[in-house]
Structures are given as structure tokens and as C-alpha cells.
Amino acid sequence: MIKFNLENRVAIVTGGAQGFGLSITKRFINSGAKVIIWDIDENECKKAIDQISSEKCSFRIVDVKQIENIQSNLNEIEKKFGKIDIFINNAGIAGKNTSVVDYPLEEWKKVIDLNLNAVFYCCKSVVPYMIRNNYGRIVNIASIAGKEGNPNASAYSTSKAGVIGLTKSLGKELAKYNIAVNCVTPAVAKTRIFDQMTKEHIDYMLSKIPRNRFAKVEELASLVTWLSSEENSFTTSAVYDLSGGRATY
């Protein structure tokens, strides 16, 4: 396993207590970073801290749908650590598997609010800290669904397409600084997000992957860690496919 150098870097991972986020957190810690997990599930946060067992890892209960909550926590983190180098927008939900015609309005708003609006709030809030230091790495976790669209998952697909567009815009805006903004479009992995999906939808997604398996959380963590490193000194506004060959563009 390649050890990317994140020594002396301060990183925040939203939804970092489980699934993709936990795997990213572990890889960051092994690469030398100090990591602050942002999550709303305190029990999962405590489990993650016990599992990682490192003084470099801590957590905060943060609702990323609330911009005031985001901004107050960023301010406290900068006061404690002196800077914020890396921000990973990972928190998200799948939403219901049903047609556009039958999709509940409140469920649509719920998915868009966490998967897209919260990413905007976090990016908007953390960028000034990175500009002050003329350094930053932002990685947004999108999805192959955002590139191709999955039937019976319109809210999820739309939210992740929005994340891709936001990434491209923000990366161009920050190109004159030493700040890289990229996103990753993974195929689904066997995490707790499966609990939110029907078996038919899971089978559909697997049938579309030429490698004939789901992504591994460790594979995503490896790519995200490189994108978050100083070694990634040129690429920005980019979309990195991690779909096992499913992506058509």
C-alpha cells in the first residue's frame, strides 16, 4: 500500500464515522493527518474513535444542513489547530427507490438538502480558511448515478449531478490559489447505504458494472487520499471515475 504524505495536515471528513467516510478517515490517519470526523450519530462516532484508536482522530457532532453549525465548528477548529487543509464532503443518503411521478416531495427535499445543499454550505464556509493559507484540498464524494442517472433514484442522481457541477465551478474559481477541488464518482459499495435501497435496485446497479462487483471502501479511500495530498498539485475541477468500468463518459 502506498503511503501518501499528509503529515501536519488538518482534515475534516463529513459522515466520517462509517462507510466511505470511516475508510477515508483511517487512511488519512495512517498517512499522518489530524482528522476531525463530522457526523450526527454520536454512537457511531464513538465506535469509530475506539476502532481507530489514535490521538490524531477526534469527532464533532455537526449537522451539515445547518450553515451556522458548520461555520461555528470551522472557527473552533481553526482556533485549535491553526488551519484547515483538507475537507471531504462525504455525508449523504440514498433516498427512496421510486419513480419521479411517485417521488414524495418531502423526501426529494431531504435528499437534495443533505446531498447537494450541504456540500455547497460546507464549500462556501471552508474556502475562506483555505484562501487565507493559500492551500487546500477539497474532495466531494459524488456518484456514478450523477453521471448516468439511475431509474427510480431521481433525487439521488440529481443531487450527485449537482455535486459534479459544483465541483467544476468551484475548482475554476480557486485555480489561482494552491487549492484543488475535485470529486469522485464511485459505484456503490456494500455499506449501510444498502439498507436504504430495494434489492431490485441493488441488483440493477451490480448488473451495470463490467467488473461484476461493487466498489470497496478502501479503493475509494486510496484515490481520495491522493487527491487530498500536496502531490496532487495540478488537477482541479476534475471528476474521477471509480465505477468498475460502468461510466460511459
- Of 218, 203, 206, nearest to 246 (Cα)? 206
Residues catalogued as catalytic: 156
Q: What are the pLDDT tens digits along the chain (249 aa)?
A: 788 999 999 999 999 999 999 999 999 999 999 999 999 999 999 999 999 999 999 999 999 999 999 999 999 999 999 999 999 999 999 999 999 999 999 999 999 999 999 999 999 999 999 999 999 999 999 999 999 999 999 999 999 999 999 999 999 999 999 999 999 999 876 666 666 677 777 777 778 788 877 778 899 999 999 999 999 999 999 999 987 877 777
Which neighbouring-strand residues pair with 139?
A: 88, 182
pLDDT digits (tens, 9 = 90+) for 162-211: 999 999 999 999 999 999 999 999 987 666 666 667 777 777 777 878 88
Per CATH, the number for 10-187+217-237 is: 3.40.50.720
239 to 25, 168, 182: CA distances (angstroms) = 21, 8, 6
E runs forming strands in 40-145:
57-61, 86-89, 136-141
Residues 6+ apart with CB under 8 A from 163: 89, 115, 116, 119, 140, 141, 142, 146, 183
Torsion of CA 157, 103, 217, 39, to 10 degrees: 110
**pTM for this model (two decimals):** 0.93
CA atoms of 238 and 241, how far apart (whole Å): 10
Q: What is the pLDDT of residue 247?
A: 79
Q: What is the pLDDT of residue 191?
A: 65
Whether the CB-CB separation of 187 and 243 falls below 8 Å is answered with: yes
